[in-house]
Structure 1
Amino acid sequence: MKELIGTGVALITPFKEDLTIDVDALRKVVDYCIDGGVDYLVVLGTTGESVTLTKEEKQLVMDTVTLANAGRLPLVVGVGGNNTHAVIEELKKLDLTHFEAVLSVSPYYNKPTQEGIFQHFKAIAEASPKPIILYNVPGRTGSNVLPATVVRLARESRNIVAIKEASGNMVQVQELIKTCPGDFQVISGDDATALPTVLAGGAGVISVLGQGLPSEFSQMIRAGLNQQVEEAYKYHYAMQEGMQLIFEEGNPAGIKAIFEILGLARATVRLPLVEASAALKGKIEAFVKPFVKVATS
């Protein structure tokens, strides 16, 4: 999908002090990312704390981002889980008119075999009115979607068009790029391997840090896609510390700390996650300062 080449960002879901969704802050985050030059927006992913949102809250997030975006960028929505039937039912009920594709995570906790993973995604793809982007994140799901399974899905299901690969394993990334059909997109799901993935032939990234530093991250990926290696790595090394810091105490605590520093949203997260510590916020602020004008109290 040409619409999903470059820098996508996995949007946070901002909360107020009482833990309700902060719609105004979410609008500000959308505008900030678009003004910074990202290529598309992803809502209700892991970074959006989708597992702690009710159905009504998920709809509010989708509606808010759709209205704030106002057709400016392509949108992707996360719809996944470890109950295949429930995912299919959710896809049938959602209004996906304004979304280009669905990002669907590999089943977690129940640890299916590769055949189980294949059948899960095949069933979802057959039921989905929109193209499916597979999401492989072994660190969260407890299982790895192997390249052979991805190739099989890409060849047997025309509605599966890409994978967000967040294993962090560049050998696996290269195997995907080498063996998947030419029109199937391999998208990095890991900020630290985003540039290497692009330089190896990947289509881009769905980034966490990219929404905090949209201009720099987008420029890095564009340079990588154009094989401007030296230019791209200047951005990569400038942001490398931040790529590590924002995950030091878990995601999205780190990236939400950046938005608090920017004055765009609170750093509040929902349990069982907890807000970034004061010590980490201090390190993140020191990292961010050279890039952007931080909010002053």
Structure 2
Amino acid sequence: MAVFKGAGVAIATPFNGDGSVNYDEFARLIDFQIDNGTDAIIVCGTTGESATMTEEEHKEVVRYCIDHVNKRVPVIAGAGSNCTQTAVELSEDAAKHGADAVLSVTPYYNKATQDGLIEHFTAVAKAIDIPVILYNVPSRTGVNIQPETAVRMCKDVDNIVGIKDATGNLAQTAKMMQLAEGCIDLYSGEDGLVVPIMSLGGIGVISVLSNVAPRQTHDMCMKALEGDFAGACEIQLKALPLVDALFSEVNPIPVKAALEMIGFAAGPLRLPLTTITEANRKVLEAELNKFLGR
């Protein structure tokens, strides 16, 4: 059975002015997501600024999220690293504290071969007894999980169950799903391609958009799952200008600004990320208000 179907939010991590985690606001954001239909919480991913967290801080944020969600929806813990042993340790800690699955990004900077990717992800999977969702985002990591590699891992390793596809390459996605013969739970990693990816057999999205539009993102996925692709497409196309604005600068710069606009104290970004430019802020606010009907 899939870890979740529908809209999973790649949740942002609110920070205080001094850069520490704002757990009170994090709780508010989690509750807002669940109250508005989000089907899963993905914590300490790219949007959560895991890249600038210490390992202990990363573990604490994951544990807090698991405890606060309290089984209301599945919690998938970001647990990737360019060091296999670190990825194993983060995954083990998440599993120990009750995560429903881990999201494991391709090792970045190292540029592993396809054989290296297989060994890396297999080591992570064998260290835990909860599902592993692969995260393929070549634009950030510099390495691409080839369709044959993804299918081989999902067929050969029992708890490697799915993939977050942020390649933007629909031809590659189609080839992977053709080879998979149903063995891969596919999630869109691109908010602008949710419906196209679901038309190829995807079962949902791990979404940045859902931070500020959880109900709409959930509804889009549910319509697609129910076969109402015309209704899902209507939401997808309406959302595209906002999606473009949310990626006008590197994620999560715009989404943290957008969260402030809807009333959350998302707080500062950690360097080297910086505040959104005023020009992009104005466009973002206009598109956010338009999409939310404010």
Bin for the TM-score computed over the shorter chain = over 0.9
Assess if the C-alpha contact under 8 Å between 1:82 and 1:110 holds in 2: yes
| Equivalence map 1:133-282=2 (5 Å) | 133-282=133-282
CA change 1:291–1:210 in 2 (3 A) is same
Residue 70 of structure 1 and its aligned partner are, at CA, apart by 2.4
Residue 192 of structure 1 and its aligned partner are, at CA, apart by 1.0
Runs (5+) with no aligned partner, structure 2: none
Match of residue 122 from structure 1: 122
- Alpha-carbon deviations, 1:62-108, whole Å to 9, x = none? 23322331221011001111111222233334453421111100111
CA RMSD of aligned residues (A): 1.6
| 2-structure distance, mates of 1:266, 1:13 | 7
Match of residue 86 from structure 1: 86
What TM-score comes out, normalization by structure 2 length? Answer: 0.95
Instruction: Give the share of equivalent positions with the same residue, in percent.
Output: 37
Q: Which amino acid letter does the alignment assign opposite residue 195 of structure 1?
A: V
| 2-structure distance, mates of 1:110, 1:103 | 19
Match of residue 31 from structure 1: 31
Residues matched between the structures, number? 294
Residue 60 of structure 1 and its aligned partner are, at CA, apart by 2.9
Residue 175 of structure 1 and its aligned partner are, at CA, apart by 1.3
Moved over 4 A (4+): none
Assess if the C-alpha contact under 8 Å between 2:139 and 2:167 holds in 1: yes
Q: Which amino acid letter does the alignment assign opposite residue 159 of structure 1?
A: N
Match of residue 99 from structure 2: 99
SS in 2 for 1:98: coil
Assess if the C-alpha contact under 8 Å between 2:151 and 2:184 holds in 1: no
Match of residue 49 from structure 2: 49
| 2-structure distance, mates of 1:293, 1:28 | 22
Q: Which amino acid letter does the alignment assign opposite residue 259 of structure 1?
A: L
Determine whether 1:111 maps to 2:105.
no
| 2-structure distance, mates of 1:59, 1:85 | 15
| 2-structure distance, mates of 1:92, 1:291 | 40
SS in 1 for 2:290: coil
CA change 1:96–1:292 in 2 (3 A) is farther
Assess if the C-alpha contact under 8 Å between 2:163 and 2:187 holds in 1: yes
Q: Is the deviation greater in 180-189 or in 239-248?
A: 180-189
- Alpha-carbon deviations, 1:157-203, whole Å to 9, x = none? 11100011110111111112211142420111111111111122111
Assess if the C-alpha contact under 8 Å between 2:194 and 2:205 holds in 1: yes
What TM-score comes out, normalization by structure 1 length? Answer: 0.94
SS in 1 for 2:154: helix
